[in-house]
Amino acid sequence: MTAAHRVLTSDRLPKPRFHYSPVVKAGPWILVSGMIALDAETGVLAAGGPAAETAKIMDNLKAALPDLGLTIAQLCRARIYTTQFEQFPAINEAWTVALKAVKDPPARTSVGVSALPLGASVEIEFEFYEENQS
């Protein structure tokens, strides 16, 4: 990484199982790699299907935000990938519940895919913007 890029960490995020940085800061942008619904302590994928996985991803993200120096209100864009697009209403409901306190929700893209890592049915990546950089 260059001086303009640095890796941010939080023990509240699941540890990566592959070679990548879960969170990277580049200028005012904080980019969160695609997250699946892993338990941060055990590394086990959440059970219960797309809605439960979405809720777990959002819970993991929100738990890590203080460590990353962010708030959910700074979320600018998210991309949701799912292998069960027919379940999108349930995914959307879990998303809405997780962001109920956010006045202006972020931009969002949703994509149906044929497969995701570790058998997950939902993966979400996030982009935050930090106005006052430190």
Give the tens place of pLDDT for each residue, 92-112: 999 999 999 999 999 999 999
pTM of the predicted model, to two decimals?
0.94
How far apart are alpha carbons 60 and 65 in whole angstroms?
9
DSSP single-letter state for residue 38: B
What tokens appear for 69 in the block? 């120096």
Looking at the domain assignment, is residue 75 inside a domain?
yes
For residue 73, the one-letter residue type is A
Please answer whether residues 122 and 80 qualify as being in contact, where contact means their C-beta atoms are separated by less than 8 angstroms: yes
How far apart are alpha carbons 35 and 16 in whole angstroms?
9
User: Which CATH number belongs to the domain containing residue 98 in this structure?
Assistant: 3.30.1330.40
| Residue written as token pair 């991309």 | 79
Looking at the domain assignment, is residue 80 inside a domain?
yes
For the chain, the domain total comes to 1
Arithmetic mean of pLDDT over the chain: 94
Give the tens place of pLDDT for each residue, 108-128: 999 999 999 999 999 999 999
The domain of 21 spans 5-125
Looking at the domain assignment, is residue 132 inside a domain?
no
What tokens appear for 20 in the block? 């990548």
